[in-house]
Structure 1
Amino acid sequence: MNLSEHYNALFKKSSELILSGNYTIDSKINDESDRRFGITLLVRPNEEIKANIQAFLKELKKTEPHQYYYPNSDIHITIMSLISCYQGFSLDKFSMSEYVDIIEKSLVDVNEIQIDFQGVTLSPSAIMLQGFPTDNSLNVLRDKLRENFKSSSLPQSIDSRYIITAAHSTIMRFQKKLENPEKLIEVIEKFRNHNFGKFTAEKIELVFNDWYQREKNTVNMCDLYLR
Structure 2
Amino acid sequence: MIQSIYDQMWTSFKLASERNDYELDPYLLNIDKDNRRGISVLAYLKQGNRSVLDEIMHFQKMVRTIEPDQYFHPLDELHLTILSVISCIPEFRLSDINIQDYAEMFQSALCSISTIEVKYRGVSASPNCVVIQGFPVNDALQCFRNALRSNLIKAGLRATFDSRYTLVAAHSSIIRFKVPIHDGQKLLALCQEYRDYDFGSIILEDFELVFNNWYQNLAVTKCLASGSVSQ
TM range (shorter): over 0.9
Residue equivalent to 1:212? 215
Name the structure 1 match of 2:36: 36
- TM norm structure 2: 0.93
Q: TM-score, normalised by structure 1?
A: 0.95
Structure 2 distance, partners of 1:85, 1:224, is 23
Measure, in 2, the Cα distance between the counterparts of 1:107 and 1:225.
8
Q: Match of 1:194, as an amino acid?
A: Y
Does 2:170 match 1:167?
yes
Check if 1:79 corresponds to 2:82: yes
One-letter amino acid matched to 1:150: I
SS in 1 for 2:166: coil
**How many Å apart are 1:108 and its aligned residue?**
3.3
Choose which of 192, 202, 205 in structure 1 pairs with 2:205: 202
Instruction: List per-residue Cα deviations over 1:38-92 (Å, max 9, x = no partner).
Output: 1110012233222111100000001111100011121111000111111111122
Q: Distance in 1 between matches of 2:4 and 2:160?
A: 27
Q: Which runs of 5+ in 2 are unaligned?
A: none
Structure 1 unaligned segments of length 5 or more: list them.
Answer: none
Distance 1:153 1:13 in 2: 37
Q: Which amino acid aligns with 2:229?
A: L
Query: In the alignment, is the contact (CA less than 8 A) between 2:77 and 2:218 conserved in 1?
Result: yes
Q: Identity of paired residues, percent? A: 30
Q: Residue type matched to 2:204 in 1?
A: A
After superposition, the CA RMSD in angstroms is 1.3
Residue aligning to 2:64:
61
Deviations 1:108-161 (A, max 9, x none): 331111111001101110000000000111111112211221222221111122
Q: 1:103 aligns with which of 99, 103, 106?
A: 106
1:146-185 map, 5 Å: 146-185=149-188
State the secondary structure of the residue aligned to 1:215. Answer: coil
User: How far is 1:107 from its partner?
Assistant: 2.8
**Post-superposition shift, 1:10?**
1.7
CA contact (8 A) 2:43 2:81 kept: yes
Count residues with an aligned counterpart: 226
- Correspondence for 2:52 among 32, 40, 49: 49
Measured in 2, the distance between the counterparts of 1:29 and 1:107 equals 33
Q: What residue is the counterpart of 1:7 in the other structure?
A: 6
Higher helix proportion, which one?
Answer: 2
In 1: Cα distance, 2:193 partner to 2:126 partner: 17
